[in-house]
Amino acid sequence: MATDSFGRRIDYLRVSVTDRCNLRCVYCMPEKGVEWKSPDRILSFEQIERFAEVAVEEGISKIRLTGGEPLVRKGIVDHVRRLRAITGIESIALTTNGTLLPIYAQALVEAGLTRVNVSLDSLDADVFSRITRGGMLSDALAGIDAAFEAGFDPVKLNVVVVRSLNQKVLDFAKMAMDRPLHVRFIEYMPVGEDAEEGGGCAGDSTGHHWTRDDHVPSDETLETLAAAGKAAGLGELAAVARDDAPGGWGPAHYYRFPDAAGTLGVISPLSHHFCGECNRLRLTADGRLRTCLFCDDELDVRKVLDAGDKEAIRAVIRAALASKPESHDMRIGTLRRMSQIGG
């Protein structure tokens, strides 16, 4: 079992398998002129698998693949199959914008993917297109259907809440009435240079005009949900006991309307930060190990993976555990975009 210097058990690794994406969400990437890392700077699947084998020996048992959009990387299904075959891996999950799930969901299940989170921030086709800069809502919805048809359980939906988007949170709640869909409302994090003015990373504005005022505390989202649900006749929103929460390794707190098949969760990285329960490390697509989403002190894994020295890989993982900060201390600027870190 791996613990960090604050006694937290670290058993979860998020791996960004690519910095590329088929969408351009305004809080994540600039519209144009994104400089993709050249393929020779991106870890090969084999390097990721080598890293995972050592990470498992050091206590990691759950891996989440993210990006960029993980499903745009060729060979992702076989990568899942090989990761799943590593002794000691209990679960492989995927965070995706969902648009390619109609193509890959079935093959991913067969390869051993255990769970899937789809990111979708608006159920209004125009707003969705604006947020994603040209994405089609129908593609993302088809992805959710494909995830259910393929038999994933749980299927979770991530919704980043942004005040100026004026999202109708009740519409998401309605989606969780008939199907066991677990919707999680995530506080928008103004990352990057312009924590003052929208997301992005240093010197590379993502080109929107959201500000700190666009951060909506989860407590407010819950109040809105409860009031709107009651007014719509869905009943009282009640907390779900931790033991009954949909399978997860995450920081969400879940709620449910009576008779709903699914749940509604909130994730509050800023208003109630959960650093004390943090169980994760992050591997970036270019081979850096990050100890915290908001901490730019990265360890270079690529170098040791190139050398192929297992003990050197182990030493980097241990150094990461030793240097993992106790908390993000509201230090919400990062030098990288979310798409490079993996969210």
Where does this chain bind ligand SAM (CB under 6 A)? 21, 27-28, 66-67, 69, 95-97, 119, 158, 160, 186, 188-189, 191, 199, 338-339, 342-343
Q: Which is nearer to ligand SAM, 119 or 291 (CB)?
A: 119
Q: Which is nearer to ligand SF4, 28 or 267 (CB)?
A: 28
Contact 334, 191 (CB under 8 A): yes
76-84 vs 45-57: helix axis angle to the nearest 10?
20
In the complex, least distance from residue 95 CB atom to ligand SAM, rounded to whole angstroms:
4
Compute how many other C-beta atoms are within 10 angstroms of the C-beta atom of residue 191.
25
Q: Which is nearer to ligand SAM, 192 or 262 (CB)?
A: 192
In the complex, least distance from residue 25 CB atom to ligand SAM, rounded to whole angstroms:
7
Q: Which is nearer to ligand SF4, 155 or 237 (CB)?
A: 155
In the complex, least distance from residue 317 CB atom to ligand SAM, rounded to whole angstroms:
23
Peptide bond into 154 cis (omega under 30): yes
In the complex, residue closest to ligand SAM by CB: 343
Residues 6+ apart with CB under 8 A from 166: none
Structure tokens at 30: 């600039």
Among ligand SAM, ligand SF4, none, residue 334 binds (CB under 5-8 Å by kind):
none
Contact 294, 199 (CB under 8 A): no
Among ligand SF4, ligand SAM, none, residue 324 binds (CB under 5-8 Å by kind):
none
Structure tokens at 262: 């699914």
Among ligand SAM, ligand SF4, none, residue 191 binds (CB under 5-8 Å by kind):
ligand SAM
Q: Which is nearer to ligand SAM, 127 or 312 (CB)?
A: 127
Among ligand SAM, ligand SF4, none, residue 116 binds (CB under 5-8 Å by kind):
none
In the complex, least distance from residue 269 CB atom to ligand SF4, rounded to whole angstroms:
15
In the complex, least distance from residue 341 CB atom to ligand SAM, rounded to whole angstroms:
7
| Largest interatomic CA distance in the chain | 62
| Contact footprint for ligand SF4 (CB under 6 A) | 21, 23-25, 28-29, 67-69, 97, 119, 338-339
User: How far is residue 108's CA from residue 101's CA, in Å, rounded to a whole number?
Assistant: 9
Count, residues in the chain: 343
DSSP 3-state of 138 = helix
The β-bridge relationship of strands 298-300 and 91-96 is unpaired
Amino acid letter for position 343: G
In the complex, least distance from residue 230 CB atom to ligand SAM, rounded to whole angstroms:
28
Among ligand SAM, ligand SF4, none, residue 154 binds (CB under 5-8 Å by kind):
none
User: How far is residue 221's CA from residue 266's CA, in Å, rounded to a whole number?
Assistant: 8
Among ligand SAM, ligand SF4, none, residue 188 binds (CB under 5-8 Å by kind):
ligand SAM
Q: Which is nearer to ligand SAM, 93 or 222 (CB)?
A: 93
Contact 159, 25 (CB under 8 A): no
Q: Is 234 left (phi over 0), alpha (psi -120 to 50) or beta?
A: alpha
Q: Which is nearer to ligand SF4, 73 or 168 (CB)?
A: 73
Residues 6+ apart with CB under 8 A from 167: 121, 122, 127, 159, 161
